[in-house]
Structure 1
Amino acid sequence: MAKKVAVLLSGCGVYDGSEIYEAVLTLLRLDQSGAEYQCIAPNDEMMHVINHATGEEMSESRNMLVEAARLARGNVQDLAEAKQESFDALILPGGFGAAKNLCDFAVKGSEMSVRPDVLSFVRSFHQAEKPVGLMCIAPVMMPVIFGKGVKCTIGTDPDVADEIRTMGGDHQDRGVDDVCIDPVNKLVSTPAYMLATGMHEASKGIFTLVDEILSMIKK
């Protein structure tokens, strides 16, 4: 039986949703590895909408689930209906949506909170001893979700690393092609586009993260 992985998205687009290349590279590696995947997103409004051509905020609202459907070719599940029991592992791509929509780190820094439905869903994998992978900026949520002392990386940004340490996380500097593994908690993180200058660079760490997550699944 194929391993099945949930991929939690936060919209579509690096500045206000999920980072598209990170999401696609994750899905590509899962497919190459013979794993099944299901994209999931909260059915709620995004924090704001950014014009990706200009970088300016737009006077409109968009829905995370609807936008995530662009990445998933329509096959996206409402987070409210998703059950941890249906999956073997969970992966969270980055993009500013992870820091704006799944939590409020972009606004509150180390005083952040995670959306209750996201917190409950991600934490349920940890409680079931199932592996979880997070990339780019998404690992800022790890101390809040998994507890103090959790090992993680967002790369080498000293300011973000300090915020993670303030929240009780054990941040480890890693290169774009590397991952940070917390074997006790079955967690894997990688910098991805926190450091990557192109897809080829980003793919190295992302592919390794996916491989490590799949290797941790009990079958």
Structure 2
Amino acid sequence: MNQALNGKRVAILSADGFEESELSVPRASLQKNGIEVHIVTPTGKGIRAWAETEWGDTYEADKALSDASESDYHALVLPGGLFNPDELRTNEDALSFVKAFFQAGKPVGAICHAPWILINAGVVDGREMTSVHSIAQDLKNAGVKWVDEAVVCDQALVTSRTPEDLDAFCAKLLEEIQEGKHSGQHA
């Protein structure tokens, strides 16, 4: 356990259809390092994972989005998958929640398709990021300098491509949470 991270709190915002490993692996990594993790969902009810090629386990929610505030957390994690980010990117409450982390200069991690949410939150223009290849053009169209790397960090915005990058993603996310607020993080 990392004593510098002990007592920190991180929100994982997700809806049904998240890629299971992109929630479970970061959550386990954060918890192993002494971080309290809350799964925040639009309804406050459990959400069902997509496990590569079929439906996976249901994960219980810790909070409903309406009961969560950026001020309760030190960082935000957005797992990918296809269904989850597609739902959240059209949810105005989710977009406001995400944007608040950027406005506060707090670390945000997004993997796979999750940058779709960031596009709709209006927080990616001028940033350097990565993602799953299928949404690279979406990010470029939103003003992102897209690069094909396992993990990219631009002023506390940590992005990765796929579950194969989870080790690098988790390591960089932990580093950014330990560093705390970043004045260069912006909305």
Same fold (TM over 0.5): yes
Counterpart of 1:88 in structure 2 is 74
State yes or no: 1:40 paired with 2:12: no
Counterpart of 2:10 in structure 1 is 5
Where 2:83 maps in the other structure, the secondary structure is: helix
Alignment coverage as a number of residue pairs: 173
**In the TM superposition, what are the counterparts of 1:108-119 in structure 2 within 5 Å?**
114-119=90-95
Aligned equivalents of 2:35, 2:112: Cα separation in 1? 22
Counterpart of 2:151 in structure 1 is 179
State yes or no: 1:136 paired with 2:112: yes
| Cα distance, 1:148 vs structure 2 | 1.4
**In the TM superposition, what are the counterparts of 1:1-219 in structure 2 within 5 Å?**
2-11=7-16, 17-43=17-43, 70-71=58-59, 74-103=60-89, 114-145=90-121, 146-155=123-132, 157=133, 159-174=134-149, 178-183=150-155, 186-193=156-163, 196=164, 202-218=165-181
Decide whether aligned partners of structure 1 residues 142 and 216 sit closer, same or farther in structure 2, where only a CA change above 3 A counts. farther
Instruction: Report sequence identity in percent.
Output: 27
Aligned equivalents of 2:33, 2:116: Cα separation in 1? 28
| Cα distance, 1:209 vs structure 2 | 3.6
Aligned equivalents of 1:26, 1:206: Cα separation in 2? 8
Aligned equivalents of 1:35, 1:121: Cα separation in 2? 20
Aligned residues of 1:22 and 1:93 also touching (Cα < 8 A): yes
| Cα distance, 1:53 vs structure 2 | 10
Deviations 1:6-61 (A, max 9, x none): 111112xxxxx11111111011100111111111011299xxx9997986xxxxxx
Where 1:39 maps in the other structure, the secondary structure is: strand
Deviations 1:96-127 (A, max 9, x none): 12332112xxxxxxxxxx42111100001111
Aligned equivalents of 2:166, 2:158: Cα separation in 1? 15
Q: Which sits farther off after the overlay, 118-127 or 140-149?
A: 140-149
Aligned equivalents of 2:49, 2:20: Cα separation in 1? 14
Decide whether aligned partners of structure 1 residues 44 and 85 sit closer, same or farther in structure 2, where only a CA change above 3 A counts. closer
Structure 2: stretches of 5+ with no match in the other structure: 1-5, 182-187
Where 1:101 maps in the other structure, the secondary structure is: helix
Aligned residues of 2:42 and 2:65 also touching (Cα < 8 A): yes
Higher strand share: 2
Q: Radius of gyration: which is bigger?
A: 1
Aligned residues of 1:99 and 1:138 also touching (Cα < 8 A): yes
Deviations 1:159-209 (A, max 9, x none): 5212211122221111xxx311111xx21111123xx3xxxxx43233224
